[in-house]
Amino acid sequence: MEMTQPLASFDPHVIERPLTTVDVVIFTVLEQRLHVLLVLRPDTPEEPFKGMRALPGGFVDMQKDDDLEGCARRKLQQKTGVRSPYLEQVGSWGGIKRDPRGWSATHVYFALLPATESPEDGTPSSDAKWFPIENQRVSVKLAFDHAKLLEAAIQRLRNKVEYTSLPAYLLPEEFTLSDLQHMYEVVLERSIEKSAFRTRVFAANLVEPIDKVRAGPNRPAQLYRLSQPKEIVYFPRTFSPRKI
Amino acid sequence: MEMTQPLASFDPHVIERPLTTVDVVIFTVLEQRLHVLLVLRPDTPEEPFKGMRALPGGFVDMQKDDDLEGCARRKLQQKTGVRSPYLEQVGSWGGIKRDPRGWSATHVYFALLPATESPEDGTPSSDAKWFPIENQRVSVKLAFDHAKLLEAAIQRLRNKVEYTSLPAYLLPEEFTLSDLQHMYEVVLERSIEKSAFRTRVFAANLVEPIDKVRAGPNRPAQLYRLSQPKEIVYFPRTFSPRKI
DNA sequence: GTAATAGTGTCTATCAGACACTATGGT
DNA sequence: ACCATAGTGTCTGATAGACACTATTAC
Predicted pLDDT of residue A16: 87
Residues B128 and B34 placed together within one structural domain of the fold: yes
User: Does residue A233 sit within a domain?
Assistant: no
Segment of A155-169, B6-20, B89-103 carrying the highest mean pLDDT: B89-103
Which protein residue's Cα is closest to nucleotide D8 at C1'? A195
Q: What is the CATH number for A173?
A: 1.10.10.10
Residues A116 and A137 placed together within one structural domain of the fold: yes
CA distances from B238 to A196, B155, B165 (A): 19, 15, 11
Q: From the CA of A147, how many Å to the nearest CA of chain B?
A: 18
Q: Could you tell me if B219 lies within 8 Å of chain A, comparing CB atoms? A: no
The domain of A37 spans: 18-161
Residues A111 and A54 placed together within one structural domain of the fold: yes
A37 within 8 A of A80, measured Cβ to Cβ? yes
Residues B192 and B85 placed together within one structural domain of the fold: no
Calculate mean pLDDT across residues A15-40: 94
Q: Which residues of B touch A62 (CB under 8 A)?
A: 16, 18, 96, 102-103
Candidates B233, B240, B169, B162; CA nearest to B202 is B233
Phi, psi of B194 (to 5 degrees): -55, -50
Q: Which residues of B touch A96 (CB under 8 A)?
A: 62, 65-67
Point out the domain boundary residue: A141, A161, A181.
A161
Identify the band that residue B236 occupies on the pLDDT scale cut at 50, 70 and 90: confident
B46 within 8 A of A10, measured Cβ to Cβ? yes
Q: How far, in whole angstroms, is CA B32 from its chain's centroid?
A: 17
Taking the model in full, what pTM does it have? 0.89
Query: How many independent structural domains does chain B possess?
Result: 2
User: Does residue B103 sit within a domain?
Assistant: yes
CA distance B209 to B225: 6
Percent of chain A at pLDDT > 70 equals 87
List the alpha helices (DSSP H) in chain B. 68-80, 146-161, 177-188, 194-203
Point out the domain boundary residue: B135, B161, B187.
B161
Strands B19-30 and B104-112: parallel
Candidates B49, B53, B59; CA nearest to B19 is B59
Q: Count how many pairs of residues, chain A against chain B, have C-beta atoms within 8 Å.
A: 122
pLDDT digits (tens, 9 = 90+) for A86-106: 999 999 999 999 999 999 999
- Protein footprint on strand D: which nucleotides are under 7 Å from a CB? 3-10, 15-20, 23-27
DSSP string, A2-71: --SSGGGGT-TTTS---EEEEEEEEEEEETTEEEEEEEEPP--TTSTTTT-EE-SEEE--TTT-SBHHHH
Predicted pLDDT of residue A229: 87
Residues A203 and A141 placed together within one structural domain of the fold: no
CA distance B17 to A228: 38
> What is the residue-averaged pLDDT of chain B?
87
The SS3 assignment for B137 reads: strand
- Protein footprint on strand C: which nucleotides are under 7 Å from a CB? 3-10, 15-20, 23-27
Predicted pLDDT of residue B185: 93
A151 within 8 A of A106, measured Cβ to Cβ? no
**In this predicted structure, which of A8-12, A49-53, A114-118 has the lowest mean pLDDT?**
A8-12
A69 within 8 A of B95, measured Cβ to Cβ? no
Position A14, amino acid? V
